[in-house]
Structure 1
Amino acid sequence: MEAEPATRADWSGALVAKTGIRFFVRPAEPEDVAALGDFYARLSLEDLRYRFLTAVREVGQARLIEMATVDHDRTENFLAFWADSDILVGSAMLVADEARERAEVAIAVRSDLKRRGIGARLLMHVADYAEARGIRILESISSADNWALIELERRLGFTCRPLPDDASLVFLQRRLG
């Protein structure tokens, strides 16, 4: 099933995961701090570690504000909500370099909704957005034991290699365009 087209003005729109789950994606706004706080509070400790690459028990207010008040130029944070609701089910943050040739992406999906296609569809949305912005290379760093994310990104065209300085992490990269 194909998703309804997202508007190209702000990249908001309805998306459909391969499992048929419908959700709405839009860029984060300052008013989303509380929703982001609730979202991250519901992630498992393992999923928090996978998202932030360090052991955290909670995401602090300063970081939540930072994730909600992005510049929408070099940094974008796409939030995924259940269709027709304000329940946040995923977040995909993209940060581009100054030249806007490369960008790093970090995704989190609600722990109880993983492996249902939300993360894959969200990542495809981010890749389309990055490509439309002229970004040539999409990158991510993942915990080496986050096999689900690594396999997902490989299926979506990313290559994977270990980080030379840290065997617990892998570097994933996909050329766009």
Structure 2
Amino acid sequence: MPHTADILKRFDEETHDLTDGYWIEKLADGTPMLIRQLADKDRAREFTFLKDLGEDMAHFRFLGSFSDQAEVHDQLMDIDSQNRNAYLALAFENDKLTEIGVARYGAFKGDVHCEFAVAVSKNWQRRGVATALLTRLMETATEKGFRKISSMDAARNEAMDELAKKMGFTCRVDEEHGPRVFHEYVLVM
């Protein structure tokens, strides 16, 4: 998708040192958004983003909460581009480049099935951020050889359920683990 030189220049600081690709996408309202892989330089930004989600959102998306514990944050920052991967969505908010969403997958070494989570800042929900992030994450998972991608979500997380159904995931209630919904997508037959 073509973008003006001004948009590319504004995102340049975030992309000039990347070894992996990045994407600039337009949201439904025309707002440009940069999607790129999580990097070490994002540690403080990612920590702030996750804390700003609030307990309710963190519980919805990750079935837990985040605290100031460095260990949890270290786990979320630990990506290897094969079994653990994460993409950030960045956009200008009040003329400051801000993390507005994150999507990640994780799998055990040698597994062909990965689990994912996606979270979007409250002000940016229902604008296409999660769809774009999950699309890129699924493309990467397919390229890395995964055959299925899934998530286990709180049953009352209607936004995730709508997103999963819109993107073609199968959905089933899983009462064994509490009121949860299991979303699964076959990437490769």
Say whether 1:32 aligns with 2:30: no
Higher helix content, 1 or 2: 2
Q: Deviations over 1:82-112 (max 9, x none)?
A: 1595411111111133224111110111122
Distance 1:65 1:106 in 2: 16
Question: Cα 1:76–1:59, aligned 2, differ >3 Å: closer, same or farther?
Answer: farther
Question: Aligned pair count?
Answer: 171
Q: Compute the TM-score of the two structures, normalised by the length of structure 1.
A: 0.86
Contact 2:85 2:106 in 1 (8 A): yes
2:178 partner SS: strand
Q: Which residue identity lines up with residue 183 of structure 2 in the other structure?
A: L
Percent of paired sites with the same residue: 25
5+ long unaligned stretches in structure 2: 4-18
RMSD value, Cα: 2.1
Contact 1:25 1:79 in 2 (8 A): yes
Runs of 4+ in 1 over 6 A off after TM superposition: none
Indicate the residue corresponding to 2:104 in structure 1: 93
Distance 2:26 2:182 in 1: 28
Q: Compute the TM-score of the two structures, normalised by the length of structure 2.
A: 0.81
Distance 1:63 1:49 in 2: 14
Question: Cα 1:10–1:25, aligned 2, differ >3 Å: closer, same or farther?
Answer: same
TM alignment of 1:7-156, pairs within 5 A: 10-54=20-64, 56=65, 58=67, 60-82=69-91, 86-156=97-167
Distance 2:133 2:149 in 1: 14
Q: Which residue identity lines up with residue 27 of structure 1 in the other structure?
A: Q
Larger Rg: 2
Distance 2:90 2:140 in 1: 18
